[in-house]
Amino acid sequence: MGRHKVLNTPAIRRMPTYYHKLMLIQALGDEYVSTSKLAKYMSIDPIVVRKDFELTGATGDRGIGYRVDTLIEAIRNYLGWNKKLRACLVGAGSLGSALLGFEEFSEYGLNICEVYDISEKRIGTEIYGRMVKDVRNVRVSVAESKVEMAIICVPAESAQEVADELVAGGVRLIWNFSNTCLQLPPDVVVQREVIAGGYALLSRKRKEHFS
């Protein structure tokens, strides 16, 4: 952890929202966008929007706002989304399938090209155009197909074993949706997605507002 820079986590988490909205604004033909418009859309302070954009190096013009195409490019570059990312997904249950169906991922440079599962029922079937492969061959398969990232959606009790195989196959980026913390070598970058994290925030807001 020592060599990792401290990331501005909330700002980075907001980037896909800006990016997706900017793509919609661009599709409508608008050339400029104001921070106040984006702030209103996201129910946040315009100062927050401005600071977030500063991170990406984008600059706006007082009174006119930001050029939409420049902003999109700046965010894409800040997140490295201009460099396509080949990924695999392990565990094609309902959550895994939902992720395979997220069309906006392709906007973000994410190409989930390999899918693995343990169930005989799923192996050999297609989900959103991807053939499900046997997870028992995952180590060799990810090495051959040169995937850089793995999305783990298996039950918590299998997640560590799956992650170890993926890392042995050369994967260095892991997006973990399983309900457990993975213990992996320090050169592997892991992002854990705790869906219940948002529920905890909502729970705390409920407690503050309604009780």
Which is nearer to its own copies, 64 or 156 (by Cβ)?
Answer: 156
Task: Tell me the window of 27-35, 61-69, 104-112, 130-138 that interacts with its own copies (CB under 8 A).
Answer: 104-112
Which is nearer to its own copies, 64 or 201 (by Cβ)?
Answer: 201
Q: Hey, is 116 helix, strand or coil?
A: strand
Measure the CA–CA gap between 193 and 2, rounded to whole angstroms: 22
Which is nearer to its own copies, 138 or 153 (by Cβ)?
Answer: 153
Nearest to 187 by CA among 198, 203, 176, 174: 174
Under rule CB under 8 A, residue 101 binds its own copies:
yes
Under rule CB under 8 A, residue 99 binds its own copies:
yes
Under rule CB under 8 A, residue 172 binds its own copies:
yes
Q: Which residue among 27, 28, 63, 196 contacts its own copies (CB under 8 A)?
A: 196
The rounded radius of gyration (Å) of the Cα atoms in the chain is: 20
Q: Which residue among 23, 47, 64, 189 contacts its own copies (CB under 8 A)?
A: 189
Nearest to 125 by CA among 145, 100, 108: 100
Site for its own copies in 9-68 (CB under 8 A): 9-10, 12-17, 20-21, 41-43, 45
CA 63-38-201 angle, to 5 degrees, is: 145
Over the range 33-57, which residues count as b (16 or more CB within 10 Å of their CB) and which as e? Answer: bebebbbeeeebeeebbbebbeebe
Amino acid occupying residue 191: Q
User: To which residue do tokens 């400029």 refer?
Assistant: 32
Relative orientation angle of helices 35-42 and 46-56, to the nearest 10 degrees: 110
Cβ at position 17, least distance to its own copies in Å: 6
Q: Which residues bind its own copies (CB under 8 A)?
A: 1, 4-5, 7, 9-10, 12-17, 20-21, 41-43, 45, 78-81, 83, 85, 93-95, 97-99, 101-102, 104-105, 108-110, 148-149, 172-173, 175, 179, 181, 183, 189-211
